[in-house]
Structure 1
Amino acid sequence: MRHRTKTYLLTNEEIEKLFQRAEIGRLGTHSEDGYPYVLPMHFVYYDNKIYMHGLPKGKKIDNIKFNSNVCFEIDEMLSLLYDGVENPCDVNTEFNSIILRGQASLVNNLEEKSIALSKIVEKFTPHLMNKELPINMIKGTAVIKIEIFDYVGRYYK
């Protein structure tokens, strides 16, 4: 790896496009035991917020209740840059990434949950987006919302 890899800032338009096309982000939370906890999550970016869904119990839910300050990371590796490279340490990676900080909360409002879940269906299973979500599924699914405080998008090529 190069010691002085230059990364460049993505434009707001490029960040918006990466939010839309990325399928998995990594949610970073704080555990009561003092250790960070990071897990991959499907997500949707909607109304300048990140929405995720999952089971209503578990470590991520416990951590958000303990400390709602979170980070979220999205990346895409486009290629390895090794043409003309003779030293393995000089190989680099073409990538795009976003790192954000925010506050996570569990969405309790049924209308907001329904909208978020519909946006997730639209993104991941668009062929099912005209199907009505059963109210018991909406009620039984945890929807996590991240209010974004700040973010940075970077690329290298």
Structure 2
Amino acid sequence: MFREMRRKKQVLSLEECIEVLNRGTSGVLAVSGDDNYPYAVPLSYVYHNNKIIFHSAKTGHKLDAIARNEKVSFCVIDKDQVVPDEYTSYFRSVIAFGKARILEDEAEKRSTLALLAKRYAPDHEEIRRMQTIDKEFNIVTMIELTIEHMSGKEAIELFKAKHL
């Protein structure tokens, strides 16, 4: 169902893909948008237990698209160093495919929102994060992408540097 990568040496292991997701602070969610046009939107996220969790407003293009078609992809670029003298870039990225769902259960929504808050405000005391969650809880939607397939790739130069 999912294509294999042609350049096998450049494939990232599952562990390396997870490291990229844990290092990243933003990614691009791609959905099947209005009139089947692709819609890709950058967003903040947290990776947790083979899931990518993100938030949204209560209404909008992203939510409408997910309601129509739960199949989505999510891409994170970990490195993109342009090397003009070589007419290339030294890159590393991960793409995840899976199904997105809007979290309706209040406890599930609260726990995933806490994960996201801790990810982006790790130095804040838990009480402060919980107060913010309580304040924003009714105006935010939480979405969970369950990963069905994930692949990562890096520039051959980065692969060679790792294996010297």
> Unpaired runs of 5+ in structure 2?
1-6, 158-164
CA contact (8 A) 1:110 1:138 kept: no
C-alpha separation in 2, matches of 1:116 and 1:64? 18
CA contact (8 A) 2:26 2:42 kept: yes
1:150 maps to 149
Aligned residues: 147
C-alpha separation in 2, matches of 1:80 and 1:58? 35
CA contact (8 A) 2:23 2:78 kept: no
Q: What do the CA deviations read for 1:115-154 (whole angstroms, capped 9, x no partner)?
A: 1111111111112251224446223310011011101011
Runs of 4+ off more than 2 Å: 133-140
2:111 maps to 115
Q: 1:74 aligns with which of 76, 80, 88?
A: 76
Letter in 2 for 1:60: K
What is the CA distance between 1:75 and its match in structure 2? Answer: 0.7
CA contact (8 A) 2:11 2:154 kept: yes
Q: Taking structure 1 as reference, are residues 65 and 106 closer, same or farther at Cα in structure 2, changes over 3 Å only?
A: same
Structure 2 residue 17 is the aligned partner of structure 1 residue 15: yes
Structure that is richer in helix per residue: 2
Q: Taking structure 1 as reference, are residues 119 and 60 closer, same or farther at Cα in structure 2, changes over 3 Å only?
A: same
What is the CA distance between 1:79 and its match in structure 2? Answer: 1.8
2:3 maps to none
What is the CA distance between 1:78 and its match in structure 2? Answer: 4.2
C-alpha separation in 2, matches of 1:63 and 1:50? 17
Q: Taking structure 1 as reference, are residues 12 and 142 closer, same or farther at Cα in structure 2, changes over 3 Å only?
A: same
Structure that is richer in strand per residue: 1
TM-score normalised by L of structure 1 = 0.85
C-alpha separation in 2, matches of 1:13 and 1:142? 29
Q: Taking structure 1 as reference, are residues 136 and 150 closer, same or farther at Cα in structure 2, changes over 3 Å only?
A: same
TM-score normalised by L of structure 2 = 0.82
> Unpaired runs of 5+ in structure 1?
1-5
Aligned CA RMSD, in angstroms, stands at: 1.9
Which residues of 2 match residues 35-74 of structure 1 at below 5 A? 35-74=37-76
CA contact (8 A) 1:107 1:145 kept: yes
The secondary structure found in structure 1 opposite 2:123 is: helix
1:28 maps to 30
C-alpha separation in 1, matches of 2:41 and 2:34? 16
CA contact (8 A) 1:76 1:95 kept: yes
